Amino acid sequence: MGFSGHRPYYAKKDNDRRELIFFLLLFAVILTKFYFLELEVSSHATRNPASVASSAGIVLCLTVAVSLFWRKVRAFSALTVDFLISLLAVTDLLHLRYYSDMFTFMNIGLSAQVGEIADSVTALIHPFDFLYFADIPLFIFFIYISRKFRSVPFFKKIGAIRFFASLLLIVVGVIPVVYRFWSYEKKVPGVLSSMWDRTAVCNNIGALTYHLADAKNAAGHTFFKEKISDVQISEVKNFFKEKKSGRAPDHLQGFAKGKNLIVIQVESLQQFIVDLRINGTEVTPNLNRFVRGSAYFSGIYSQTASGNSSDAEFIVNTGLYPSASGVAYTRFAGNRYEALPKVLEDKGYVSLALHGDRPGFWNRHRMYPSMGFSRFISKKDFVVDENIGMGLSDASFFRQSISILDNTQKPFYAFLITLTSHYPYNFDGIFKETELNTSPFEGTLMGNYLTSMKYFDDKFGSFIEGLRKNGLLDSSVIALYGDHTAIPAWDRSSLEKLLGRNLKNDWEWKYLQRIPLAIKIPGHQALQEEIKGPAGLIDLPDTFAYLMDFEFRTGFGTNLFENDRSEPVIFRNGSFITGNVLVEPLSRSAREMPEGKVLDYEKYAPMAEEVKKRLSYNDLILEHDLVPFLVRED
Ligand code: GP9
Ligand code: MN
């Protein structure tokens, strides 16, 4: 009697072990790949235990799930999963090298930009990167050898015990993932939906958990989109068709036609800084001088939402409001816009954006081409001869920008975004170069902020001098504004102390949340006056269109030079300012600013409806990529 027909006990045991070894190896190999990837994201990757557990949880769920597949396709499925996930890791590597950013499913479909990286793959890929796929032939060899020398199949049928044990393992894997999502969101609310810095997210929660969060966002936005009817599209279209522009001084209409446009977005520049003195010293003498030589708008309120700097950029360039949820720059980079750079390029301008941070921060490398910028000069392109805080110092940024602008074809639209005066305002390099007696605020957030502003001002002064020397000062419209507020609510008391004002109430606080806006019109001296009416950055594109004589068809704003402006300043949460009244429809409140006198809400209810309607149009435009329909002639 031979052994045929009977599977010997030791062979069965052996077989169990081989399959177990296969999946254990697969688990370990995938985790190792992402371990090395995370080292490329940051050489001092955080490796918080909760993040490591979450990565392990994801790989556990994947390997266990694939180990339940039908025996005959199990090997193929496992190796396909391994291949795809290795491809994801290598795609990340290439994105990191090209854009200093992680790959995101949100940007799939931005074909022009995918092409950009595809063209450079050979230059970006390193021989060692192929190691990410090296396990696959080894696994195939392992299975082949085992099959050759054993009579029993490598992969087994799934019995009940194994099935339930696997389900249990999947539950065990899911727990740390859910925990990491929850704990990170708790620490940094909104971070996983806004994804403002994907590499930072990756460094905090691990590359795999980042990808899971990113895939969840992409799926949410793709599959849970409400349908839009033709009637709705025509309604939005009519809104823009019927948008009336009020009367504005004739002598300014088209006054700056053909001039260059230089827009400077200053990080965290809040309005109270203008003309501020501390211990007898002017904090921003250069800015103050610039303001005196410009049309100065002192009633501009920040309209940004969770996109901070990127929302300010978005508002100024597109004339649209920020996204109702998530961030426009990361959610809607695939949309088509009639934004300032595109409109000006169509008029023969060259448009360029300059910023001293990594190109992937806030998804700028994707969003700028979508808005029509033909060049983006980022930290990758500047000579990084001085780094302060998040990136290139403002000193170096402004210095290099002068010669870049000098060498740029005219006319141009240059959009400059400063960086050094970023929260928490205490980067070393600032203090080395800047002297300001901030007593009694030394060493506090307020003291550091004032020093940061002085630092910015010194460098801005040199920039203006540089423009004067190369003749650009007299041939360019220069607009400067603060992107958003600087002093958080928890530090109200410092602002009260600095300004000697009581800011206890919300409307007083809101009144202080203004950001300055100054527009210098070359050759026009008559405008050196303060314009106090309430307005927002959203009004900038229409204002440039008026001054420089072009058409801007899809913005919600209106020309800031209009006489008797009565447009409400709309905030993303539906509240608005009209005249000196702050209206908050959610709490049905209307108060006079800054004193807080209670007014009859009902008087403002119709305007609240109008505001709601405009914000809903904005959402439709973003969600359904409507801009091309709005400008199409029927
Ligand atoms: C970084 C900077 C970020 O590029 O623009 O500013 P934030 O959005 O954090 O204010
Ligand atoms: Mn900012």
Q: What is the pLDDT of residues 375-384, one digit of tens each?
A: 999 999 999 9
Query: Does the beta carbon of 423 lie inside 6 Å of ligand 1?
Result: no
Query: Does the beta carbon of 255 lie inside 6 Å of ligand 1?
Result: no
Torsion sign over Cα 495, 500, 506, 510: negative
Query: Does the beta carbon of 308 lie inside 6 Å of ligand 1?
Result: yes
Distance set, CA 527 to CA 36, 253, 291, 295, 480 (Å): 59, 13, 11, 5, 15
Ligand 1 atom with the smallest distance to the CA of 417 is 5
Mean pLDDT check: name the lowest of 192-206, 288-302, 443-457, 473-487. 192-206
Give the Å distance between the CA of 116 and the centre of ligand 1: 25
In this structure, which amino acid lies at residue 530?
Answer: E
Q: What average pLDDT does range 397-424 have in this prediction?
A: 97
Give the Å distance between the CA of 308 and the centre of ligand 1: 7
Query: Does the beta carbon of 508 lie inside 6 Å of ligand 1?
Result: no
- Please report the pLDDT score of residue 109 as a whole number: 64
Cβ contact 30:59 at 8 Å: yes
Residue with more model confidence, 519 or 191 = 519
Q: Across all residues in the chain, what is the average pLDDT?
A: 91
- Please report the pLDDT score of residue 490 as a whole number: 86
In 3D space, the residue among 408, 358, 405 whose CA is nearest the CA of residue 384 turns out to be 358
- Please report the pLDDT score of residue 151 as a whole number: 67
Pocket test residue of 311, 354, 361 for ligand 1, highest count of atoms within 8 A of CB: 361
Q: What is the pLDDT of residues 18-61, one digit of tens each?
A: 888 999 999 999 999 999 999 988 877 668 899 999 999 999 99
Is the pLDDT at 424 greater than 70, yes or no?
Answer: yes
Q: What is the pLDDT of residues 210-265, one digit of tens each?
A: 999 999 998 988 888 788 999 999 999 999 999 888 888 888 999 999 999 999 99
Pocket test residue of 330, 419, 420, 423 for ligand 1, highest count of atoms within 8 A of CB: 419
Give the Å distance between the CA of 476 and the centre of ligand 1: 26
Query: Does the beta carbon of 567 lie inside 6 Å of ligand 1?
Result: no
Query: Does the beta carbon of 311 lie inside 6 Å of ligand 1?
Result: no
Phi, psi of 582 (to 5 degrees): -95, 120
Number of the ligand closest to the Cα of 390? 1
Give the Å distance between the CA of 304 and the centre of ligand 2: 10
Give the Å distance between the CA of 230 and the centre of ligand 2: 38
Q: Cα(89)–Cα(87) distance, rounded to whole angstroms?
A: 5
Is the pLDDT at 88 greater than 60, yes or no?
Answer: yes
Q: What average pLDDT does range 432-441 have in this prediction?
A: 95
> Which amino acid residue places its CA nearest to atom 7 of ligand 1?
309
- Please report the pLDDT score of residue 512 as a whole number: 92
Ligand 1 atom with the smallest distance to the CA of 357 is 4
If pLDDT is split at 50, 70 and 90, which confidence band does 12 have? Answer: low
Q: Cα(5)–Cα(368) distance, rounded to whole angstroms?
A: 69
Query: Does the beta carbon of 313 lie inside 6 Å of ligand 1?
Result: no
Q: Cα(396)–Cα(74) distance, rounded to whole angstroms?
A: 57
Strands (E), 366-521: 375-377, 387-388, 391-392, 412-417, 476-482, 514-520
Query: Does the beta carbon of 361 lie inside 6 Å of ligand 1?
Result: yes
End-to-end C-alpha distance for the chain, whole angstroms: 89
Q: What is the pLDDT of residues 154-206, one digit of tens each?
A: 788 888 999 999 999 999 999 999 999 999 999 988 889 878 788 889 999 99
Is the pLDDT at 540 greater than 60, yes or no?
Answer: yes
Query: Does the beta carbon of 357 lie inside 6 Å of ligand 1?
Result: yes
Q: Cα(242)–Cα(396) distance, rounded to whole angstroms?
A: 46
Helix (H) or strand (E) holding 295: strand 295-301
Give the Å distance between the CA of 270 and the centre of ligand 1: 15
Token pair of 56 as six digits: 């392990």
Chain centroid to CA 569: 23
CA angle centred on 325, ends 321 and 329, rounded to 5°: 60
Is the pLDDT at 342 greater than 80, yes or no?
Answer: yes
If pLDDT is split at 50, 70 and 90, which confidence band does 115 have? Answer: low
- Please report the pLDDT score of residue 190 as a whole number: 80
- Please report the pLDDT score of residue 112 as a whole number: 46
- Please report the pLDDT score of residue 634 as a whole number: 75
Q: What pTM value is reported for the model?
A: 0.84
Bridge partners (DSSP) of residue 243 are: none
Query: Does the beta carbon of 397 lie inside 6 Å of ligand 1?
Result: no
The 3 state secondary structure assigned to 65-130 is HHHCCCHHHHHHHHHHHHHHHHHHHHHHHHHHHHHCCCCCHHHCCCHHHHHHHHHCHHHHCCHHHH
> Which amino acid residue places its CA nearest to atom 10 of ligand 1?
309
Give the Å distance between the CA of 197 and the centre of ligand 1: 9
Burial 112-148 (b: 16+ CB within 10 A, else e): ebeeebeeeeeeeeeeebeebeebeeebeebbeebee
Ligand 1 atom with the smallest distance to the CA of 268 is 10
Give the Å distance between the CA of 322 and the centre of ligand 2: 14
